[in-house]
Chains A and B, each alone.
Chain A
Amino acid sequence: MLKTFTKGGVHPPENKLTAGCSIEVLPPPETVIIPVAQHLGSPAAVAVNKGDRVLTGQLIARATGYVSANIHSPVSGTVSRIDTVTDISGYKQTCIIIDVLGDEWISDIDRSPDIVREIMLTSEEIIQKCLDCGIVGLGGATFPTHVKLKVPAGKKCNLLIINGVECEPWLTSDHRLMLEKGEEIIIGTRIMMKALGVTKSIIGIENNKPDAIKHLGKLLDGAGDIKVQGLKVKYPQGGEKQLIKAITGREVPSGKLPVDVGVVVQNAGTAFAVYEAVQKNKPLFERVVTVTGRSLSKPGNFLVRIGTPVARLIEGAGGLPGDTGKIISGGPMMGKALANLQTPVVKGTSGIVVFPAAESSRPQSAPCIRCTRCISACPMGLEPYLLMSLAEKGLFERMKAEKVTDCIECGSCSYICPAHRPLLDYIRLGKTTLLKMMREKSVK
């Protein structure tokens, strides 16, 4: 029986062109640019100096504070500069720039192709290993995994959900990973179950990936601890709260965390990274990125070193098409448009989508006709038309009563609006302004 979440949601065209493209290894570039803030939380502290020789997998920036993550060199070579570079968010931030020389890995990493099945580490050791290896959520939010695997005192977790939904149109990196590294993902899932102390896990996959549902089901072969749950295709099912609702029927209360309803959600890609860290001692320095677009000659899924400039990925996919008008990091619903092709791949980069100029600009915005489609589409039960009009008028405090802080910024409202109103833009403005006002008041 296929499940799905009940409230809202949209069905944008899926365009999963690269679903049949096996993961290709992209060799390291000549230079990598490594931002020290590529995870949620405080930026890592640079732990190398200009001129240092580094090996692939060597720690180059150390986590600062509890919610933070280590960063490792994705290549071997020389630290040429520590400088500020514009990253994906559009802000300048500290980056470590390394000139690549060969590809020499640190000796701790087990590079053998054998799958290590037995889980030797204890719960605490697993969490420490995730911290050491700089594992963060690879679905896009990049929340440090070691924090998420530690159930807060007084809370109880009884279910681990593995997010194999990949509801963003165009993207196929998790899909390919589930097909090609299915067994590793299952072991990674068991590792995280051990860390959390849960006996049950469910892998949620949308039924536009029937091969992945079948493949993982076959690998599990009726194992009692992990189940695969097929899901009806609907965006944004990959949203944490929507996925929990779809699978368990539980609703995470407003302002609360999944663990408050006894659930922890981890991405399928993260499960693979956890496997590699715990069983193979391999830090997170490469990931699978979908590079796609209708005008690319060779779109595909690539295993890429962190820090590789986007330009290199596009070369790998056949070069930049002449009609390109927009390049998106991530999926088209929640991804960020890039201004600069030298922007590096970071831990959270799940895909690069290239749009031709004709599809790059927004349709002209018209007056709201109150068709109610934004309300029907909102997975959080909000009224986007109202939030936009409140933000336009600067009535930010009223937006609090209208629950703007529940907005997950999935973009369903702006997608579905027949008047093409910039709903999410104004909601973001209202949300950030309101959060700022709330912070200032709490400081006073």
Chain B
Amino acid sequence: MSSLLTVSQSPHIHTRDDTRKLMRGVIIALIPAFIASVYYFGWGALIVTATSVLSCIIFEYVIQKYLIKGPVTITDNSAIVTGLLLAFNLPSNLPVHLVILGALVAIGIGKMSFGGLGNNPFNPALVGRVFLLISFPVQMTTWPVPSGFKTGYADAVTGATPLGILKEGIRNGEKVSQLMNQIPDHMQMFYGHMGGSMREVAALALLIGFIYMLVKKIITWHIPVAVTGSVAVFTGILWLINPEKNADPLFHLLTGGVLLGAIFMATDYVTSPMVPKAMIIYGIGIGVITVIIRVYGAYPEGVSFAILIMNAFVPLMNTWIKPKRFGEEVRNG
């Protein structure tokens, strides 16, 4: 024994997991969706993703080092996750300068202005996305048609998303059964063959990521199941009431950002509730708001708004919804 003994409070052993490894797990879970997006959208997917991730890391570094003048924590991998998720919510032909702007808003306003990792009330990637959606609606809703590397980044062929076709059609008084002929069938959508923001397309790839995160215990099933379950139930009821005015539940689950949102965005640790009971309520809230926006609102798609709205309720839920304590006395009466 060369030097003094260390004296500290118990416990004296600690898990080998750390923030960095958890974030790395999320990144690994996003790889299948990334591959699918490159397969469908080619160069555009690569350029937008690379720009988004790099910008997020650089903005976090610059803000921490020069603005806050505090410790730089870019090695915790959380900026990479934000960058990936932001990219996954953008069309693959979005001009690079808008991607950079989105990253600045996501990291600068969404995350660092609240004190950095762990303190932000809203999902940073969604803050960036919604900022772009509201500020640049045309660019943000011009979706490239999936054609792999056959077309370039700038000259991608664009078209409407299935949800866009549906919204527009219903508004013009067309019947859902007719509209469905203009839309890829469910199986094609499951593999991702449709227009949309980059990574919201391939359900299969997203589900692989979901299973990976469940197995690795990075997330629990509560939020994704509550979101998708409530979307399915709500749209199912509407569909049963009037199948000519409303699309079927599977269509709603496979289109837009429901799966991406349910699996990767709504489960963001920092901005989701702490207790399983609250996670279910939060998930149902997201599902219901999404459907309300899709069916009754002006936008064809509502997952981003739904998650941000429910994010706002998280502190309240954390205050009011408590885990069941051990030995909690059963109330008589």
Contact = CB atoms under 8 A, between A and B. Distances in A.
B13 A333 contact: yes
Most B C-beta atoms less than 10 A away, residue of A326, A385, A428: A326
Contacts of A192: none
Where chain A touches its partner, the secondary structure class is: loop
Nearest to B330: A253
B275 interface: yes
B243 interface: no
A320 interface: yes
Interface in A363-377: 363, 366-372, 375
A324 interface: yes
A328 interface: yes
Contact of A333 (B11, B116, B119, B220): B11
B326 A418 contact: no
A285 interface: no
B280 to A, nearest CB: 13
Interface stretch (A21-29, A56-64, A266-274, A354-362): A354-362
B19 A406 contact: no
B12 A335 contact: yes
- Say which size band chain A's interface belongs to: 35 or more
A336 interface: yes
Interface in B302-333: 318, 322-329
A417 interface: yes
Contact of A415 (B9, B15, B78): B15
Nearest to B324: A381
A380 interface: yes
Where chain B touches its partner, the secondary structure class is: loop
B17 A418 contact: yes
B269 interface: yes
B293 interface: no
B312 to A, nearest CB: 15
A10 B17 CA distance: 13
Contacts of B327: 241, 251-254, 256, 380, 406
B281 interface: no
Interface of A: 7, 10, 12-13, 90, 169, 241, 245, 251-254, 256, 320, 322, 324-328, 330, 332-339, 353, 355, 357, 359-363, 366-372, 375, 378-383, 385-386, 402-403, 406, 409, 411-412, 414-420, 422, 424-425, 428
30 contacts: A12-B13, A251-B327, A251-B328, A253-B327, A256-B327, A328-B10, A332-B11, A332-B13, A337-B5, A337-B6, A339-B4, A357-B3, A370-B118, A370-B274, A371-B22, A372-B220, A372-B275, A375-B274, A375-B323, A378-B323, A379-B326, A383-B275, A383-B322, A402-B322, A406-B327, A409-B10, A416-B15, A417-B14, A418-B22, A420-B14
